[in-house]
Amino acid sequence: MTVADLARTPAGRLARRAHSLEWEHVTEHLAFRVVDELFALPLTDIRELLAPPPLTFVPRAPRAALGLASVRGELVTVLDLGVRFGKRAAPIDPAAERRARVLLVRAPDGETLGLLVDAVESVVRLADDEIEPASALGGGVSEHVLGLGRQGSQLLVLLSLPAVLKAQ
Amino acid sequence: MVGGFRYRRSRVADATDKAREEFFSEAQEIVEGLSRDLLALDGLAQRGQASPELVNDVFRAVHTLKGLAGLFGATRMATLSHDLEEVLDDLRLGRVELTREVLDLLFRALDVYGQLLTLERAPDESLFGVVDEFLADLSKRVRRRAPPEARASAAYDLDPGLLAVLTEYEEHRLRTCVASGFSLFRVRARFNLLTIDEELEALKTRAKPLGEIVTYLPTGDGGDAESIDLELLLASREEFPVIAARLASERVSVEEVDRRRDPTDAPPRSLREGAALARDHEGAEEPAAEGGAAGLSLRSVSQTVRVDIRKLDSLMNVVGELSIVRSTLARITERVRSNPGLRELGFELYRLQRSFERHLGEVQDGILEVRMVPIGQIFDKLGRVVRQASREAGKQVSLVITGAETEVDKLIVEELSDPLMHMVRNAIDHGIEPVNDRARVGKPEVGTIAINAFQKGSHVLLEIEDDGRGIDRARVREIALSRGILDQTGAAELDDRGLLGLIFLPGFSTKGAVDMLAGRGVGMDVVKTNISRLGGVIDVQSEPGIGTKMTITLPITLAILSSLLVEAGGQSFAVPLSAVEEALAYDAGTSRVVDAREVMTLRGASLPLVHLDALLGLRARARGRGRYVLVVSAGTRRLGVVVDHLEGQQDIVIKPLGRSLASVRGFAGAAQLGDQRVGLVLDAPALIDEVLASGEARKAEPRAKDVASSP
């Protein structure tokens, strides 16, 4: 499945696909790039992929909050993961980044949020033995890092969505 | 279902045999009476008649049986009676027609009563099967009921609009008359406005001997500047020719209201006009005769509908989207109209757009109206709170309520419940003095909490007033100092209003100990937050020794907000119109800086000013001319907000910011502005609080605005 297909696939189908694979102890992750690093979120956490919508800047908002967008009538706060992870000081201009995408996710409290990433790379299937827990990295790892995924030479930082969305 | 009717073996275990005997004989007696009544009903129904009295008697008998059965643990009989009661209640209130089928059911129930009485005396498990089968059957029937359409089928072809305006009494009379086999006649009369009183009286006098005037109403159509058309609904045992002969005249026409047959049957026959009287005599007696079998209910349409508020919300969202279409349409219309070559098209478009606008307004008003409920809904709950809380506090309190009928958006009513409860508890706990103290200062022993609700413009005001000891200023000051809410210099500068305002700050509670009533860790700050979330403001006035009055000012509805769009720092913001007093041209030359605060003079009073772009930390545009001062107010406090442009007025559907932006102050939410744009809605009361409380515009950390929505 290419990323282009993914963007057109309804979230429900994605969820089912991912679910059907669970019994093999293989999980599907969406890999994306933020600045210079590859991250991944479980495919089941992602409702939709969007090209960056027009955003309304929210004064006084936390730095990572890029702005507000309206997605089919629903108000969505878009966070810049680059700022969130401390990889850049100021948000990028999503309109100027050709490959930038917004991942729509649902927070545990039901709020829909958008996560701005620099580029979406691919869907990665990881077997259990391809995942290293965060503890393997030693102490001082950020709370939002769940573990590391390794496929060949590719190294992915697996994220915990609730921790990513926790108050910044 | 059957499992629920398990026979209780200990059914009369603790009743003496004598009492049980009495139960059997009384039940037997009632069942016999029931049998007589049902037979009488059956006889009437066969002649197309009905008797509300009889139905009511049957209902009462079954009700009594239910009570008896419950008392003696005769579970099946109680269940049977309970379910039958439902059927009979519907029958009694005209929700269900007394059809052949219903009568059969009642007779079968009668048989079951007989069987049950025998079985209760000498239980035989094998026979309960039949009974349980019927019970299950009946209970299914009760639960299923007739669908509304079926039971709403009226015996008469009456205008639902007419039925809708009948008072309960009139409707009852109407039903009663029809049930007693009266026919209905519609009498239309034109009256001269000058002599209507005498003419109407004369007509009534002529009609009285013929039957009963159920109601008379203006028809709404017909009539001119000098006359008015009234429609009388007359119930009479007489036949059409008689009625017409007595009443019809040049200005009075008579129609017989057709009885409706089966709703799926042939369409109702057209009404015979009084003028056609001579030609059409036969058949006049026929409707009355055949009407009974068709059913005796006149209640044609259920007049209330319960709707999930979320459905109204989603309708409102659609209206919101349509409002955006309207704005776009208006813009396009303007463009077309300014093109000389398209004048005709422009005019047509303009007419279309106006009509769209008007209808959309009606839809919007309609939905808003549906959302409105009397605020009194929450007052009932408050009565219980007062009783309980005053008992716990050992005080005597009476609650006096006025304006319970004032209508407010359903959501506001719901959200208001908790804050109000808290305020009332506060008043009992901190305001009203113990009985002894009250006696000492010569106040009546019973303290009073008065709640007064009323509408004022587009707002609803709620006053919660107690005649207690008032707020102790010295104590407020002391607590604020001890909790570090206030420092000495701050305390010295505070005026009375500011001092009272301290009770709304987080961490403030005037009573030392945490008690059962008010001290649950939620204070007036929560009340205030809840109310401002509803777009309301709260104000407090207090006279030591006399009492305290809290005033809550709320918008009537939350769903749609008229707002003014303004631009500041290159970004559009919406300001609720309800908060805007006026807009003036800003002239930097006339404002002065007093103690680091910019102030202008407006009609002799000082108006503090704040620049919205600076306040929000937006990059300021070039300071040219053409800026505006928006005078916003909350309660009695005013603030001038300087903005770059006024973009115009727009109705918006306001949506709350998500939890991820919960920490952001100064915005009441966001709204779609059209063209896919989202605009932030300024929270005027919060801005006023912020600016006036801090003494100067908070120096928001300037942050380069890297991302703009659209320029």
> Nearest CB to A54: which of B658, B680, B710?
B710
Look at the domain A3-165 and name its fold. OB fold (Dihydrolipoamide Acetyltransferase, E2P) (2.40.50)
Nearest to B706 among A73, A90, A109 (CB): A90
> Minimum mean pLDDT among A99-103, B16-20, B53-57: which range?
B16-20
Strand partners, B645: B567
Q: What predicted TM-score, i.e. pTM, was given to this entire model?
A: 0.45
Asked if the C-beta of A89 comes within 8 angstroms of chain B's C-beta atoms, the answer is no
Chain A interface test: which of B324, B571, B665, B707 (most A C-beta within 10 Å): B707
Over residues A118-159, the pLDDT tens digits come to 999 989 988 888 888 887 777 777 788 888 888 777 789 999
- Delimit the domains of chain B by residue range: 2-146, 152-277+287-294, 309-373, 375-555, 560-694
Q: Which CATH number among 3.40.640.10, 1.20.120.160, 1.50.10.10, 1.20.1250.20 corresponds to the domain B2-146?
A: 1.20.120.160
> Which residue ranges make up each domain of chain A?
3-165
For residue A101, the model assigns a pLDDT of 93
How confident is residue B260, by pLDDT bands cut at 50, 70 and 90? low
**CA distances in angstroms from A54 to A8, A94, B652, listed in the order given:** 20, 9, 19
* Top mean-pLDDT range of A6-10, B451-455, B622-626: B451-455
The residue ranking higher by pLDDT, B165 or B546, is: B546
* Segment B284-293 mean pLDDT: 38
Tell me the one-letter amino acid at B234. Answer: L
Selected from 3.40.1120.10, 1.20.120.450, 3.30.565.10, 3.40.50.740, the CATH number assigned to the domain covering B375-555 reads 3.30.565.10
The CATH-assigned architecture of domain B152-277+287-294 is 2-Layer Sandwich (3.30)
pLDDT at B550: 93
Cβ pair A75:B655 closer than 8 A: yes
Q: Does the distance separating the beta carbons of A65 and B321 come in below 8 Å?
A: no
Q: Does A163 touch chain B (CB under 8 A)?
A: no
Q: Which residues contact A30 (CB under 8 A, 6 or more apart)?
A: A6, A40, A41, A42, A43, A46, A103, A120, A122, A123, A124
pLDDT at residue number B172: 65
Q: How far is A124 from chain B (nearest CA, A)?
A: 29
pLDDT tier at A30 (50, 70, 90 boundaries)? very high
Rounded to the nearest integer, the mean pLDDT of chain B is: 75
CA dist B326 and B674 (Å) reads 10
pLDDT of residue B222: 56
Show the tokens assigned to B508.
């403030």
Give chain A's radius of gyration (CA, Å): 15
Whether the per-residue pLDDT at B48 is higher than 90: the answer is: no
Task: Give the chain A residue nearest B654 (alpha carbons).
Answer: A75
Residue B561 β-bridge partners: B652
Fold (topology level) of B560-694:
OB fold (Dihydrolipoamide Acetyltransferase, E2P) (2.40.50)
Test mutation, B678, B691, B701, B706, chain A, max A CBs within 10 A: B678
List CB contacts (< 8 A) between A90 and chain B: 704, 706
Beta-carbon neighbour count of residue B442 at 10 Å? 6
Residue B585 CB: number of other CB atoms within 10 A? Answer: 9
- Measured CA to CA, the distance from residue A132 to residue B373 in angstroms comes to 58
Give the containing element (helix H, strand E) for B173.
Answer: helix B168-179
C-alpha distance from A31 to closest chain B C-alpha (Å): 24
Q: Tell me the β-bridge partners of B544.
A: none
List, edge to edge, every strand of the sheet that includes A112-117.
Answer: A46-50, A101-106, A112-117, A74-80, A65-71
pLDDT reported for residue B269:
36
Q: Give the model's confidence band at B508: pLDDT under 50 very low, under 70 low, under 90 confident, else very high.
A: confident
Are the C-beta atoms of residues A7 and A124 closer than 8 Å to each other? no
Confidence of residue B261 (pLDDT cuts 50, 70, 90): very low
User: What is the band of B265 on the pLDDT scale with cuts at 50, 70, 90?
Assistant: very low
